[in-house]
Structure 1
Amino acid sequence: MAKSTVQKIQQVAIAALNDVETLLAEWLPDGIRQGSEWVARNTARDDQGKGSFGVSLASGKWNDFADSDAHGGDLVSLLSYLQGCRQVEAAMQIDQRLGLGIFQRNGEAQASPPITSTSTKSQLRQQAEAERIASLQKAAQLAKRLWQSAQPACPGHAYLVDKGISPYRLRQTPQGQLMVPLYAHGELVNVQLIDAQGNKRFLKGGQVQGAYAPLGRVMPGKTLYVCEGWATGATIYAHTREPVACAMHAGNLEPVARALCERYGHLEMVIAGDDDRATPGNPGRTAANAAALAVGALVLFPAWPKEAPHRLTDFNDLARWYRQQGGHDE
């Protein structure tokens, strides 16, 4: 008996879990795996940073803590939400992408989807892993070429002026984008490109998880600060002259903290977290506390004056606000 449309959608949702990370990397490319979840920005709204939007890698359930109406129970509903299409259209896209054969062009279901042997699945996983490693290597090579050919960043770059920070060792592309270098195991593996409007992107396929942008030099007797964005890190470095590692987003704080502990051994480390006070669940504070607990570090958040706007979230926001008030930002 032919399956109903609802049954076919459910079948696609279950089958899609075999390739959950591949799909999520395509739909939410700036996300990262954090434990059993994929943490990313919600591309369906004006989401400025990762932390509130997560997808279970085990079940496909997803939720946006910043939007009570944004949640679902599987990957089909997630793609439907992200693309603003019907679930049957999302299911057919996934079916075609993975070659499941659950939907045919005429909308009828096959008697049964193709059965993939265990050995074939293993081969597919190995192929996917090989492709992932190749993408990482390609992005790292491109990062090195871009970095070597770039000039020192201009202190008058609009983004730096807006943030009130110095360029330090940043470089700049001929097109005027700032280049923030990301390192892992002492090697340049990626760059974050920032334009004059503050729009940011990483190199496609490049490593982000566990990679960081350094400011200053890690040395015995120095306190190492780990924070989210580079502007926040530059602000902390300017005020403390202690080394800083910028993890680029909340979900990467713990991986970076762990990587630094593995690389340098025992460190006096402080997780300088964002305080996302206006976001339900406060993902910045939550991630910073979790990272500090994981590596036995101290944790620090901005101390907000009563009159500071609630939209401010990080140490750079606080420093800029003080300057606007004509006060001191020590």
Structure 2
Amino acid sequence: MKNWKKAGIGALCVAALLAGCGTQGGKDDGNGGKDDTPMDVTLETLREVNDPCVLLAKYDAVTVNIQGTDRDGEVAYTARLQYTDGGDSTILMSSHYSYTANSGPGEDELWSEGCGSLYATRMTSDDNASLNIYPIPGEGTEYLLDILPQCADPAAKNAEETLDERSEQDGAVLLSTTTRFKDAGGYYYTTLYYADPETGELLAMSVTDYIEDGEGGATEMGTTLYNWSYDEPYETEPYKSGRYLLNDVVYATDDTRPACLLTVCLPAKEGGEDWWVNEYHVARGTYVNICCRSGCTLYADAALTQPIDDTVSIDTNGEEMTVYVVPDVPLN
């Protein structure tokens, strides 16, 4: 097994330098946007300070640059993710992933955008008139928060994180931890947190996955590096080949182009008759794929008696279309 701590520290130092150790202008608090009082940086304070909602109370936007490598150390993808306050207690986020030949998808690009009850993705290799929609229950804020990079509490996912070491390096606090899941078949991961000693805000983070080999050792499966910066302008529309990504197929309510009102309904309670209702104005003829992480069954009626074949396109050629989505595993 590689010396994960030594390798991780080196990678984080390079990453932090490339990121300029994070841009932390902050909203004006009368003291230049920054409190100079040192903080006792612990795992608990990291989770509290770096909660996305807490960060957005201080900054206009948060940007995270990401790099994933495979078990051989080859870059599999790079990504840029941003999020900001969407108003009315919602989160607005977008991301752009660039995959290399070393990745599962091969050389490709993935664009996504989420706000409120909409989370949608498209890949460069997708047909121009295609869209993947991930239905979100309720207002969607909790769903989007869960997929944002952060210092999350592993206990919420039936895991335990132990602190291996705390040190200081290059003017930053460095915490190294190991996280193990119950009944995970030998899988665990190590994390290096690189934080500002005055604010506790993350500058960088490295996560390395391992599988135990049953002989007292472990095989490294890959590493993901994250770099945070704050108050970079939020790009309100992600670009794809000079065109707006989702505006190609998802229109605003006041858009005059012909659209199909696509209504996607999710059960508000398991086995109940109440539904979360999400409406999208989709370009007519768009191939829409309804995605759920755990799989789902689609129906054309609330009584769930008319299944829809999810291997063919949902019909968006007319003025409106309603789809009832029953996830294999409840979303909330």
TM-score, structure 2 normalization: 0.30
**Higher RCO structure, 1 or 2 (CA under 8 Å, sep 6+):** 2
| Structure having the larger proportion of residues in helix | 1
TM-score, structure 1 normalization: 0.30
